[in-house]
Amino acid sequence: MKRFIPNRVGLLATVGIGLLMVPFIGLLIRTPWTRFAGDLSESGTAVRLSVVVSVSAALVAVALGVPLGWALARGRFRGKGLVRAIVLLPIVLPPVVAGTALLASLGRRGFVGSIIDDVFGVTFPFTTPGAIIAASFVALPFVTLVAEAGFRAVDESHEEIAATLGAGSWRRFRRIALPKAAPALAAGAVLGWARALGEFGATVTFAGNLDGRTQTLPLAIFFELQSDPEAAFSLSLILVAVSVVVLVVARRAWVR
Amino acid sequence: MRAVGILTLVLAAGACSGSRSAEVFVGSASSFAQVLEASQDSYGQYELKVLVGGSQLLVTQVLEGAPMDVIVTADWPAMEALVAADQVAAPPTLLGHNALVIAVERGNPLAIGSVRDLARPDVKLVLAAAEVPLGRYSAQVLDAAGVETRPVSLAGSATAVAGLLASGEADAGIVYETDAQVWGLTGISLPPEIDVIAEYYVAPITGAPNPEGGTALIEFLLSSDGRALLTRLGFAV
Protein backbone atom coordinates (compact mmCIF):
# COMPACT_ATOMS: atom_id res chain seq x y z
CA MET A 1 0.00 0.00 0.00
CA LYS A 2 1.26 3.40 -0.89
CA ARG A 3 1.42 5.63 2.20
CA PHE A 4 0.54 9.27 1.81
CA ILE A 5 2.09 11.86 4.08
CA PRO A 6 -0.62 14.17 5.47
CA ASN A 7 -0.17 17.74 4.26
CA ARG A 8 0.58 19.35 7.60
CA VAL A 9 3.03 16.60 8.53
CA GLY A 10 4.70 16.98 5.18
CA LEU A 11 4.94 20.74 5.52
CA LEU A 12 6.64 20.62 8.92
CA ALA A 13 8.87 17.77 7.79
CA THR A 14 9.95 19.93 4.86
CA VAL A 15 10.69 22.84 7.16
CA GLY A 16 12.66 20.43 9.35
CA ILE A 17 14.84 19.11 6.58
CA GLY A 18 15.28 22.66 5.32
CA LEU A 19 16.51 23.78 8.73
CA LEU A 20 19.07 20.99 8.62
CA MET A 21 20.17 21.65 5.05
CA VAL A 22 20.29 25.43 4.80
CA PRO A 23 23.55 25.86 6.77
CA PHE A 24 25.39 23.46 4.47
CA ILE A 25 24.10 25.23 1.39
CA GLY A 26 25.38 28.47 2.89
CA LEU A 27 28.76 26.90 3.46
CA LEU A 28 28.87 25.62 -0.11
CA ILE A 29 28.03 29.06 -1.49
CA ARG A 30 30.52 30.90 0.69
CA THR A 31 33.44 28.52 0.30
CA PRO A 32 36.13 30.15 -1.84
CA TRP A 33 36.84 27.21 -4.13
CA THR A 34 39.91 28.78 -5.68
CA ARG A 35 41.57 28.83 -2.27
CA PHE A 36 40.33 25.45 -1.15
CA ALA A 37 43.57 23.50 -1.69
CA GLY A 38 45.66 26.33 -0.27
CA ASP A 39 43.58 26.60 2.90
CA LEU A 40 43.80 22.86 3.41
CA SER A 41 47.58 22.73 3.05
CA GLU A 42 48.03 25.77 5.28
CA SER A 43 46.05 23.98 7.94
CA GLY A 44 48.15 20.83 7.57
CA THR A 45 49.24 20.94 11.21
CA ALA A 46 45.67 21.11 12.47
CA VAL A 47 44.56 18.37 10.06
CA ARG A 48 47.39 16.05 11.14
CA LEU A 49 46.74 16.73 14.81
CA SER A 50 43.03 16.12 14.30
CA VAL A 51 43.81 12.72 12.74
CA VAL A 52 46.10 11.77 15.64
CA VAL A 53 43.67 12.95 18.32
CA SER A 54 40.50 11.53 16.77
CA VAL A 55 42.00 8.13 15.91
CA SER A 56 43.57 7.79 19.37
CA ALA A 57 40.29 8.81 21.00
CA ALA A 58 38.37 6.32 18.86
CA LEU A 59 40.77 3.54 19.92
CA VAL A 60 40.35 4.45 23.58
CA ALA A 61 36.58 4.65 23.16
CA VAL A 62 36.46 1.23 21.48
CA ALA A 63 38.76 -0.38 24.05
CA LEU A 64 36.50 0.83 26.87
CA GLY A 65 33.16 1.22 25.13
CA VAL A 66 32.89 -2.33 23.72
CA PRO A 67 33.29 -3.98 27.15
CA LEU A 68 30.91 -1.41 28.61
CA GLY A 69 28.39 -2.05 25.85
CA TRP A 70 28.67 -5.80 26.43
CA ALA A 71 28.12 -5.36 30.16
CA LEU A 72 25.01 -3.28 29.48
CA ALA A 73 23.67 -5.77 26.91
CA ARG A 74 24.38 -9.00 28.73
CA GLY A 75 25.39 -8.20 32.26
CA ARG A 76 23.04 -8.73 35.17
CA PHE A 77 23.94 -6.34 37.90
CA ARG A 78 22.37 -3.79 40.16
CA GLY A 79 22.38 -0.15 39.14
CA LYS A 80 22.38 -0.90 35.43
CA GLY A 81 19.98 1.96 34.79
CA LEU A 82 22.33 4.30 36.58
CA VAL A 83 25.29 3.03 34.57
CA ARG A 84 23.39 3.62 31.35
CA ALA A 85 22.46 7.13 32.47
CA ILE A 86 26.11 7.89 33.19
CA VAL A 87 27.04 6.58 29.75
CA LEU A 88 24.43 8.83 28.15
CA LEU A 89 25.47 11.92 30.09
CA PRO A 90 28.29 13.15 27.81
CA ILE A 91 25.88 13.04 24.83
CA VAL A 92 23.42 15.47 26.39
CA LEU A 93 25.99 17.49 28.33
CA PRO A 94 27.21 20.73 26.78
CA PRO A 95 30.82 19.97 25.77
CA VAL A 96 32.05 23.04 27.63
CA VAL A 97 30.62 21.50 30.81
CA ALA A 98 32.45 18.28 30.00
CA GLY A 99 35.65 20.29 29.61
CA THR A 100 35.05 22.13 32.88
CA ALA A 101 34.39 18.85 34.66
CA LEU A 102 37.57 17.38 33.19
CA LEU A 103 39.49 20.42 34.46
CA ALA A 104 37.92 20.04 37.88
CA SER A 105 38.97 16.38 38.05
CA LEU A 106 41.99 15.82 35.80
CA GLY A 107 43.27 19.40 35.82
CA ARG A 108 46.31 20.41 37.81
CA ARG A 109 44.15 21.17 40.84
CA GLY A 110 41.70 18.34 40.24
CA PHE A 111 41.39 15.49 42.73
CA VAL A 112 42.81 12.98 40.24
CA GLY A 113 45.00 15.37 38.29
CA SER A 114 46.82 16.62 41.39
CA ILE A 115 47.70 13.05 42.42
CA ILE A 116 48.97 12.23 38.93
CA ASP A 117 50.98 15.45 38.97
CA ASP A 118 52.52 14.60 42.36
CA VAL A 119 53.32 10.99 41.51
CA PHE A 120 54.32 11.19 37.86
CA GLY A 121 54.94 14.90 37.36
CA VAL A 122 52.47 14.86 34.46
CA THR A 123 49.57 17.23 33.83
CA PHE A 124 46.95 16.83 31.11
CA PRO A 125 45.69 20.34 30.35
CA PHE A 126 47.45 21.97 27.37
CA THR A 127 48.79 18.63 26.10
CA THR A 128 47.90 16.36 23.19
CA PRO A 129 47.02 13.53 25.62
CA GLY A 130 44.66 16.05 27.25
CA ALA A 131 42.97 16.67 23.88
CA ILE A 132 42.71 12.88 23.41
CA ILE A 133 41.09 12.52 26.85
CA ALA A 134 38.54 15.23 26.03
CA ALA A 135 37.73 13.60 22.68
CA SER A 136 37.54 10.11 24.24
CA PHE A 137 35.14 11.37 26.89
CA VAL A 138 32.65 12.61 24.31
CA ALA A 139 33.17 9.66 21.92
CA LEU A 140 32.80 6.87 24.48
CA PRO A 141 28.98 7.04 24.82
CA PHE A 142 28.48 6.64 21.07
CA VAL A 143 30.69 3.54 20.89
CA THR A 144 29.10 2.09 24.03
CA LEU A 145 25.49 2.55 22.94
CA VAL A 146 26.04 1.19 19.43
CA ALA A 147 28.03 -1.74 20.86
CA GLU A 148 25.24 -2.46 23.34
CA ALA A 149 22.66 -2.52 20.56
CA GLY A 150 24.99 -4.70 18.50
CA PHE A 151 25.46 -7.27 21.27
CA ARG A 152 21.73 -7.32 21.95
CA ALA A 153 21.08 -8.20 18.33
CA VAL A 154 23.36 -11.25 18.52
CA ASP A 155 21.42 -14.48 18.98
CA GLU A 156 22.53 -15.85 22.34
CA SER A 157 21.72 -19.45 21.42
CA HIS A 158 25.09 -19.90 19.71
CA GLU A 159 26.86 -18.91 22.87
CA GLU A 160 24.64 -21.23 24.90
CA ILE A 161 25.54 -24.12 22.61
CA ALA A 162 29.22 -23.21 22.83
CA ALA A 163 28.87 -23.18 26.61
CA THR A 164 27.47 -26.74 26.61
CA LEU A 165 30.52 -27.73 24.53
CA GLY A 166 32.72 -26.38 27.30
CA ALA A 167 33.73 -22.97 25.96
CA GLY A 168 34.51 -20.54 28.76
CA SER A 169 32.91 -17.13 29.01
CA TRP A 170 35.94 -15.25 27.65
CA ARG A 171 36.18 -17.65 24.70
CA ARG A 172 32.46 -17.24 23.97
CA PHE A 173 32.81 -13.48 24.08
CA ARG A 174 35.87 -13.40 21.85
CA ARG A 175 34.97 -16.13 19.33
CA ILE A 176 31.21 -15.70 19.04
CA ALA A 177 29.77 -12.46 20.41
CA LEU A 178 32.57 -10.23 19.17
CA PRO A 179 32.66 -11.45 15.54
CA LYS A 180 28.88 -11.48 15.28
CA ALA A 181 28.61 -7.93 16.60
CA ALA A 182 31.58 -6.78 14.51
CA PRO A 183 29.60 -4.73 11.95
CA ALA A 184 27.84 -2.84 14.72
CA LEU A 185 31.11 -2.38 16.60
CA ALA A 186 32.69 -1.00 13.45
CA ALA A 187 29.77 1.40 13.03
CA GLY A 188 30.13 2.45 16.66
CA ALA A 189 33.85 2.99 16.21
CA VAL A 190 33.27 5.15 13.13
CA LEU A 191 30.57 7.20 14.90
CA GLY A 192 32.83 7.63 17.93
CA TRP A 193 35.68 8.67 15.69
CA ALA A 194 33.49 11.24 13.94
CA ARG A 195 32.36 12.66 17.27
CA ALA A 196 35.99 12.87 18.40
CA LEU A 197 36.97 14.56 15.15
CA GLY A 198 34.35 17.24 15.63
CA GLU A 199 35.00 17.83 19.31
CA PHE A 200 35.45 21.51 20.18
CA GLY A 201 34.05 22.68 23.52
CA ALA A 202 35.60 20.13 25.86
CA THR A 203 38.91 20.36 24.00
CA VAL A 204 39.25 24.13 24.09
CA THR A 205 38.19 24.18 27.74
CA PHE A 206 40.33 21.31 28.99
CA ALA A 207 43.24 21.12 26.56
CA GLY A 208 43.47 24.72 25.44
CA ASN A 209 44.53 25.97 22.04
CA LEU A 210 48.06 25.60 20.76
CA ASP A 211 49.11 25.08 17.17
CA GLY A 212 50.53 21.59 16.70
CA ARG A 213 49.69 20.42 20.20
CA THR A 214 46.02 20.92 20.98
CA GLN A 215 44.67 23.02 18.11
CA THR A 216 42.58 20.48 16.24
CA LEU A 217 40.66 21.31 13.08
CA PRO A 218 37.50 22.58 14.86
CA LEU A 219 39.62 24.91 17.02
CA ALA A 220 41.53 26.08 13.96
CA ILE A 221 38.17 26.86 12.33
CA PHE A 222 37.00 28.85 15.35
CA PHE A 223 40.16 30.95 15.39
CA GLU A 224 40.31 31.31 11.60
CA LEU A 225 36.80 32.72 11.70
CA GLN A 226 38.27 35.65 13.61
CA SER A 227 41.15 36.34 11.27
CA ASP A 228 40.33 34.75 7.91
CA PRO A 229 36.64 33.77 7.68
CA GLU A 230 37.03 32.38 4.16
CA ALA A 231 39.58 29.86 5.39
CA ALA A 232 37.12 28.93 8.14
CA PHE A 233 34.43 28.29 5.52
CA SER A 234 36.58 25.95 3.46
CA LEU A 235 37.89 24.08 6.50
CA SER A 236 34.31 23.67 7.75
CA LEU A 237 33.31 22.22 4.43
CA ILE A 238 36.07 19.62 4.74
CA LEU A 239 34.63 18.50 8.08
CA VAL A 240 31.13 18.38 6.59
CA ALA A 241 32.42 16.21 3.73
CA VAL A 242 34.21 13.86 6.15
CA SER A 243 31.08 13.60 8.29
CA VAL A 244 28.91 12.74 5.28
CA VAL A 245 31.33 9.99 4.25
CA VAL A 246 31.35 8.68 7.82
CA LEU A 247 27.56 8.51 7.93
CA VAL A 248 27.40 6.64 4.64
CA VAL A 249 30.08 4.16 5.74
CA ALA A 250 28.63 3.71 9.21
CA ARG A 251 25.14 3.21 7.87
CA ARG A 252 26.33 0.58 5.44
CA ALA A 253 28.07 -1.30 8.26
CA TRP A 254 24.99 -0.87 10.42
CA VAL A 255 22.46 -2.12 7.89
CA ARG A 256 24.48 -5.11 6.76
CA MET B 1 -2.83 23.64 11.45
CA ARG B 2 -1.98 24.35 15.07
CA ALA B 3 1.62 23.22 14.66
CA VAL B 4 2.06 25.56 11.72
CA GLY B 5 0.50 28.34 13.79
CA ILE B 6 3.00 27.78 16.57
CA LEU B 7 5.83 27.79 14.08
CA THR B 8 4.62 31.08 12.63
CA LEU B 9 4.45 32.52 16.14
CA VAL B 10 8.02 31.44 16.86
CA LEU B 11 9.26 32.97 13.62
CA ALA B 12 7.30 36.16 14.23
CA ALA B 13 8.69 36.45 17.76
CA GLY B 14 12.17 36.04 16.36
CA ALA B 15 11.59 38.75 13.78
CA CYS B 16 10.07 41.13 16.32
CA SER B 17 12.68 40.81 19.05
CA GLY B 18 15.11 42.80 16.91
CA SER B 19 12.87 45.83 16.71
CA ARG B 20 11.76 46.09 20.34
CA SER B 21 13.17 49.41 21.27
CA ALA B 22 13.48 48.67 24.99
CA GLU B 23 16.60 46.60 24.44
CA VAL B 24 20.04 47.63 23.32
CA PHE B 25 22.35 44.94 22.02
CA VAL B 26 25.96 45.75 22.61
CA GLY B 27 28.84 43.55 21.55
CA SER B 28 31.64 43.92 24.03
CA ALA B 29 35.27 42.95 24.25
CA SER B 30 35.34 40.48 27.12
CA SER B 31 37.49 42.78 29.28
CA PHE B 32 34.99 45.64 28.94
CA ALA B 33 31.84 43.67 29.74
CA GLN B 34 32.05 44.50 33.45
CA VAL B 35 31.66 48.21 32.62
CA LEU B 36 28.52 47.56 30.61
CA GLU B 37 27.08 45.30 33.27
CA ALA B 38 27.69 48.04 35.83
CA SER B 39 26.15 50.62 33.45
CA GLN B 40 22.69 49.12 33.53
CA ASP B 41 21.48 51.08 36.57
CA SER B 42 22.67 54.50 35.45
CA TYR B 43 21.68 53.97 31.85
CA GLY B 44 18.04 53.69 32.71
CA GLN B 45 15.33 53.35 30.14
CA TYR B 46 16.87 50.65 27.94
CA GLU B 47 17.69 47.14 28.89
CA LEU B 48 21.29 46.35 28.01
CA LYS B 49 21.96 43.02 26.37
CA VAL B 50 25.68 42.47 26.46
CA LEU B 51 27.16 40.04 23.95
CA VAL B 52 30.55 39.17 25.34
CA GLY B 53 33.31 37.78 23.16
CA GLY B 54 36.74 38.33 21.80
CA SER B 55 36.59 41.66 19.90
CA GLN B 56 37.54 39.93 16.70
CA LEU B 57 34.76 37.35 16.93
CA LEU B 58 32.23 40.15 17.52
CA VAL B 59 33.56 41.94 14.46
CA THR B 60 33.12 38.78 12.38
CA GLN B 61 29.59 38.46 13.71
CA VAL B 62 28.75 42.05 12.75
CA LEU B 63 30.28 41.55 9.31
CA GLU B 64 28.06 38.48 8.94
CA GLY B 65 25.01 40.58 9.80
CA ALA B 66 24.43 40.03 13.52
CA PRO B 67 21.93 42.69 14.65
CA MET B 68 23.93 44.71 17.16
CA ASP B 69 23.40 48.34 18.13
CA VAL B 70 26.79 49.15 19.54
CA ILE B 71 30.19 47.51 19.59
CA VAL B 72 33.10 48.05 21.97
CA THR B 73 36.45 46.68 20.82
CA ALA B 74 39.66 46.45 22.81
CA ASP B 75 41.87 47.76 20.04
CA TRP B 76 41.85 49.78 16.85
CA PRO B 77 42.55 47.00 14.30
CA ALA B 78 39.34 45.20 15.31
CA MET B 79 37.33 48.41 14.97
CA GLU B 80 39.13 49.36 11.76
CA ALA B 81 37.82 46.17 10.12
CA LEU B 82 34.28 47.46 10.72
CA VAL B 83 35.12 50.95 9.51
CA ALA B 84 36.69 49.54 6.36
CA ALA B 85 33.58 47.44 5.71
CA ASP B 86 31.35 50.49 6.24
CA GLN B 87 29.61 48.82 9.16
CA VAL B 88 29.75 51.70 11.63
CA ALA B 89 27.02 54.35 11.59
CA ALA B 90 29.31 57.04 13.04
CA PRO B 91 33.08 57.38 13.48
CA PRO B 92 34.39 55.29 16.41
CA THR B 93 35.20 57.11 19.63
CA LEU B 94 38.04 56.36 22.01
CA LEU B 95 36.44 55.29 25.27
CA GLY B 96 39.36 54.72 27.57
CA HIS B 97 42.57 52.88 28.25
CA ASN B 98 43.68 49.82 30.11
CA ALA B 99 47.11 48.78 31.28
CA LEU B 100 48.66 45.38 30.71
CA VAL B 101 50.16 43.39 33.55
CA ILE B 102 51.86 40.07 34.05
CA ALA B 103 49.32 38.13 36.07
CA VAL B 104 50.20 35.32 38.42
CA GLU B 105 48.43 33.39 41.09
CA ARG B 106 47.86 35.35 44.27
CA GLY B 107 51.06 35.34 46.31
CA ASN B 108 53.23 34.71 43.25
CA PRO B 109 54.46 31.23 44.26
CA LEU B 110 56.86 30.94 41.31
CA ALA B 111 58.45 34.31 42.14
CA ILE B 112 57.87 35.79 38.71
CA GLY B 113 59.29 39.29 38.57
CA SER B 114 59.67 40.30 34.94
CA VAL B 115 58.70 39.48 31.37
CA ARG B 116 61.93 37.48 31.11
CA ASP B 117 60.56 35.00 33.67
CA LEU B 118 57.69 34.20 31.32
CA ALA B 119 60.18 32.28 29.16
CA ARG B 120 61.25 30.05 32.07
CA PRO B 121 60.62 26.38 31.25
CA ASP B 122 58.98 25.75 34.63
CA VAL B 123 56.38 28.48 34.04
CA LYS B 124 53.16 27.44 32.32
CA LEU B 125 52.37 30.55 30.33
CA VAL B 126 48.99 31.37 28.79
CA LEU B 127 48.63 34.19 26.28
CA ALA B 128 45.68 35.50 24.34
CA ALA B 129 45.51 34.26 20.75
CA ALA B 130 47.00 36.52 18.10
CA GLU B 131 43.50 36.92 16.64
CA VAL B 132 42.23 38.96 19.60
CA PRO B 133 43.36 42.41 20.76
CA LEU B 134 45.00 41.21 23.99
CA GLY B 135 47.05 38.76 21.92
CA ARG B 136 48.23 41.59 19.66
CA TYR B 137 49.14 43.76 22.66
CA SER B 138 50.94 40.86 24.36
CA ALA B 139 52.98 40.19 21.23
CA GLN B 140 54.00 43.87 21.19
CA VAL B 141 55.15 43.66 24.81
CA LEU B 142 57.14 40.47 24.24
CA ASP B 143 58.65 41.85 21.04
CA ALA B 144 59.70 45.06 22.78
CA ALA B 145 61.25 43.02 25.58
CA GLY B 146 62.94 40.71 23.09
CA VAL B 147 61.60 37.69 24.94
CA GLU B 148 60.68 34.51 23.15
CA THR B 149 58.08 32.49 24.98
CA ARG B 150 56.57 29.06 24.64
CA PRO B 151 52.98 29.43 25.83
CA VAL B 152 51.04 26.27 26.69
CA SER B 153 47.85 27.70 25.26
CA LEU B 154 46.53 30.65 23.28
CA ALA B 155 43.16 31.61 24.69
CA GLY B 156 40.29 33.00 22.63
CA SER B 157 39.57 36.04 24.79
CA ALA B 158 41.09 38.18 27.51
CA THR B 159 38.85 36.75 30.21
CA ALA B 160 39.72 33.20 29.11
CA VAL B 161 43.37 33.95 29.95
CA ALA B 162 42.40 35.31 33.37
CA GLY B 163 40.13 32.32 33.98
CA LEU B 164 42.91 29.81 33.33
CA LEU B 165 45.15 31.68 35.77
CA ALA B 166 42.44 31.93 38.39
CA SER B 167 41.72 28.20 38.18
CA GLY B 168 45.39 27.45 38.71
CA GLU B 169 45.82 25.56 35.44
CA ALA B 170 48.42 28.05 34.26
CA ASP B 171 51.13 29.89 36.19
CA ALA B 172 51.42 33.18 34.40
CA GLY B 173 49.94 35.24 31.63
CA ILE B 174 49.61 38.73 30.27
CA VAL B 175 46.20 40.22 31.02
CA TYR B 176 44.50 43.59 31.31
CA GLU B 177 45.03 45.22 34.69
CA THR B 178 41.26 45.43 35.22
CA ASP B 179 40.83 41.69 34.60
CA ALA B 180 43.62 40.90 37.09
CA GLN B 181 41.58 42.85 39.66
CA VAL B 182 38.28 41.18 38.80
CA TRP B 183 39.79 37.69 38.94
CA GLY B 184 41.78 38.28 42.11
CA LEU B 185 45.15 37.73 40.45
CA THR B 186 48.40 39.34 41.46
CA GLY B 187 49.41 41.81 38.76
CA ILE B 188 53.02 42.74 38.05
CA SER B 189 53.35 46.05 36.22
CA LEU B 190 55.40 46.24 33.07
CA PRO B 191 58.36 48.63 32.92
CA PRO B 192 57.60 51.76 30.85
CA GLU B 193 59.99 50.86 27.99
CA ILE B 194 57.94 47.79 27.04
CA ASP B 195 54.53 48.85 28.35
CA VAL B 196 51.63 48.90 25.92
CA ILE B 197 48.41 50.76 26.62
CA ALA B 198 45.20 49.14 25.42
CA GLU B 199 42.65 51.40 23.73
CA TYR B 200 38.91 50.77 23.78
CA TYR B 201 36.77 52.06 20.97
CA VAL B 202 33.00 52.32 20.74
CA ALA B 203 30.86 52.78 17.65
CA PRO B 204 27.21 52.48 16.63
CA ILE B 205 26.58 49.73 14.08
CA THR B 206 25.10 50.42 10.65
CA GLY B 207 21.49 49.26 10.41
CA ALA B 208 21.17 48.89 14.17
CA PRO B 209 17.74 47.67 15.33
CA ASN B 210 17.71 50.37 18.02
CA PRO B 211 19.88 53.31 16.95
CA GLU B 212 18.45 55.73 19.59
CA GLY B 213 19.24 53.29 22.37
CA GLY B 214 22.70 52.77 20.95
CA THR B 215 23.40 56.49 20.81
CA ALA B 216 22.12 56.90 24.37
CA LEU B 217 24.52 54.19 25.56
CA ILE B 218 27.51 55.79 23.84
CA GLU B 219 26.53 59.19 25.25
CA PHE B 220 26.35 57.68 28.72
CA LEU B 221 29.75 56.01 28.44
CA LEU B 222 31.31 59.32 27.35
CA SER B 223 29.49 61.39 29.99
CA SER B 224 31.09 62.34 33.28
CA ASP B 225 29.06 59.60 35.02
CA GLY B 226 30.27 57.06 32.48
CA ARG B 227 33.86 58.18 32.85
CA ALA B 228 33.60 58.00 36.60
CA LEU B 229 32.37 54.42 36.27
CA LEU B 230 35.29 53.48 34.01
CA THR B 231 37.76 55.03 36.43
CA ARG B 232 36.18 53.26 39.37
CA LEU B 233 36.61 49.92 37.59
CA GLY B 234 40.28 50.58 36.86
CA PHE B 235 40.19 51.98 33.34
CA ALA B 236 41.97 55.23 32.47
CA VAL B 237 39.96 57.85 30.62
- pLDDT for B121 equals 92
Say whether B69 sits in a helix, a strand or coil. Answer: coil
B92 with B146, same domain: the answer is: no
Task: Please report, for chain B, how many H helices and E strands are present, in that order.
Answer: 9, 9
Number of domains in chain B: 2
Euclidean distance between CA atoms A8 and A46, whole angstroms: 45
**Residue B15 resides in a domain:** no
B150 with B116, same domain: the answer is: yes
> Residue B36 sits in a domain of what CATH number?
3.40.190.10
Whether residue A8 and residue B3 make contact (CB cut-off 8 A), yes or no, is yes
- pLDDT for A244 equals 86
**Residue B35 resides in a domain:** yes
- Kindly report the length of chain B: 237
Entry pTM: 0.82
Say whether B8 sits in a helix, a strand or coil. Answer: helix
- pLDDT per position as a tens digit, A99-146: 999 999 999 889 999 999 999 988 999 999 999 999 999 999 999 999
B56 with B102, same domain: the answer is: no
A27: exposed, middle or buried (Cβ count in 10 Å: 0-12, 13-18, 19+): middle
To the nearest whole Å, the CA of B224 is away from the closest chain A CA by 34
**Residue B87 resides in a domain:** yes
To the nearest whole Å, the CA of B131 is away from the closest chain A CA by 6
- pLDDT for A16 equals 95
- pLDDT per position as a tens digit, B47-106: 899 998 888 889 988 988 888 999 999 999 999 999 999 999 999 999 999 999 999 988
**Residue B218 resides in a domain:** yes
Q: Is the separation of the CB atoms in B58 and A229 below 8 Å? A: no
DSSP letter assigned to residue A77: -
**Residue B13 resides in a domain:** no
* A226 vs B contacts (CB less than 8 Å): 54, 56-57, 59-60, 129, 131-132, 156
* A210 vs B contacts (CB less than 8 Å): 151-154
- pLDDT per position as a tens digit, A178-227: 999 999 999 999 999 999 999 999 999 999 999 899 999 999 999 888 88
What domains sit in chain A, N to C, each tagged with a CATH number? 54-255 (1.10.3720.10)
**Residue B12 resides in a domain:** no
B108 with B88, same domain: the answer is: no
**Residue B17 resides in a domain:** no
B119 with B90, same domain: the answer is: no
Q: Which residues contact B218 (CB under 8 A, 6 or more apart)?
A: B70, B93, B202, B203, B204
Domain range for B159? 98-197
A229 touches chain B (CB under 8 A): yes
ipTM given for this complex: 0.76
B208 with B93, same domain: the answer is: yes
Q: Which residues contact A200 (CB under 8 A, 6 or more apart)?
A: A95, A218, A219, A222
B109 with B142, same domain: the answer is: yes
List chain B residues with pLDDT less than 70.
1-21
Whether residue A225 and residue B153 make contact (CB cut-off 8 A), yes or no, is no
